[in-house]
Amino acid sequence: MNAADRPPGLVLSYARLVTEQVGESLGGRLRAAYLHGSAVLGGWVPERSDVDMLFVADDGTGGQALEAMASALGAGRPACPGTGLECSVVTAGQAARPGPPWPFLLHVAETAGRTDLRIVVGDGQSGDPDLLMHYTVCRSAGWPVCGPAPLELIGSVRRPLVLGYLADELGWGIEHGTEAYAVLNACRALVFLAEGVIVSKIAGGRIALDRRLGPPAVLRRALDQQQGGAPEQEAAPDAVEFVLAAAAALRSAAAATGSGG
C-alpha cells in the first residue's frame, strides 16, 4: 500500500492503542493485529462505520490471558472514532487453517452510545461464521497494525463458502438492515462474484452503477443514503428485488463450484 491507501489517521491511531492494550494483556502471546473492514477498503464513514480488528494469538492462549484482555478493553479502551469497536481473537492455528465451524478465542463488540462491551468467549461456542469474511477481507486488504502481512498468517477460505456467506448476508440485510446496507452489500457481492476482489460498500455501489449491474435508481438511492445525502429507510420493493436476484446469482455460482461445506 502507498500513503494514499492508508486507513484514516484517527482510525489507525485508535487501532494502535487498542493493539497495545491487547498485547500487554496477552503477555507476549500476540502474533499480529489486523485492521480490516471499511477503514481499509476505502468506505469509512465515521457516523456509520465501526472499527473492525482481528487479533492472532499464539496457540494455547486462553484462560487468564483472555480474561485480562477483556478486562483491559472494558476498563480503559480509548474513545472509538467510529460507531464502535468489533474485534475477534483467534489462535495462529485457527487463522492458518480457517474452516467450519470457525472457532475463536474471544469476540468483543462495542455498541455506539453504550459504555459496556459485548464479550463472547469462544470456548463452548459453536463458532462464528462471520470469521469467514473477516479472514477473507484481511487476506485481501488487512492493515497489519503489528505482525507480518496477513497472507503469512491467514489461510485462504474456499470461494464457494464465501459466496454462500455473502448470499446469506443479503437475506439478513433485507430483514434487518437499511436499504443502503442491503443494496450496497449486494453490489459488493456482485463485484466479488465477477472479479474475486473485496471492495467497500460505497465502491461496490459505484462499480455496480458504472457497469449497470442493477437498477440505476436503486443504486443511486442507496449511495445517497450511505453517504448521508438522504435519510436511511427500509428497503423498497425495487431494492428487495435487486438484492434477492443478487443472492440467487451467488447461490447458483456457489453450487456450480461445489458446496465447500
Encode the chain (261 residues) as per-residue pLDDT tens digits. Answer: 433 468 999 999 999 999 999 999 998 999 999 999 999 998 888 888 899 999 999 999 988 888 888 888 777 678 899 999 999 999 999 999 999 999 999 998 886 656 667 888 888 788 999 999 999 999 999 999 999 999 999 999 999 999 999 999 999 999 999 999 999 999 999 999 999 999 999 999 999 999 999 999 999 999 999 988 999 999 999 999 999 999 999 999 999 987 444
Grid cell in block for residue 20? 497495545
- Please give the pLDDT value at position 113: 57
CB-count exposure of residue 144 (10 Å: 0-12, 13-18, 19+):
middle
- Which CATH code fits 3-153? 3.30.460.10
The residue to which cell 472457532 is assigned: 103
- Please give the pLDDT value at position 63: 84
234, 144 contact by CB (below 8 A) = no
C-alpha span between 15 and 34 (Å, rounded): 9
Reduce the DSSP state of residue 99 to 3 states and report it: coil
202, 43 contact by CB (below 8 A) = yes
134, 36 contact by CB (below 8 A) = yes
Task: Measure CA 157 to chain center.
Answer: 14
143, 40 contact by CB (below 8 A) = yes
C-alpha span between 100 and 87 (Å, rounded): 19
Q: Which of 243, 250, 81 is nearest to 164 (CA)?
A: 250
Q: Which of 227, 8, 56, 39 is nearest to 141 (CA)?
A: 39
Reduce the DSSP state of residue 121 to 3 states and report it: strand
Ranges for all domains in the chain classified under CATH 3.30.460.10: 3-153
- Please give the pLDDT value at position 170: 97
- Please give the pLDDT value at position 2: 36
Grid cell in block for residue 101? 465451524
Strand extents, DSSP E, the chain? 30-36, 51-57, 85-91, 106-110, 117-121, 143-146
pTM of the model: 0.90
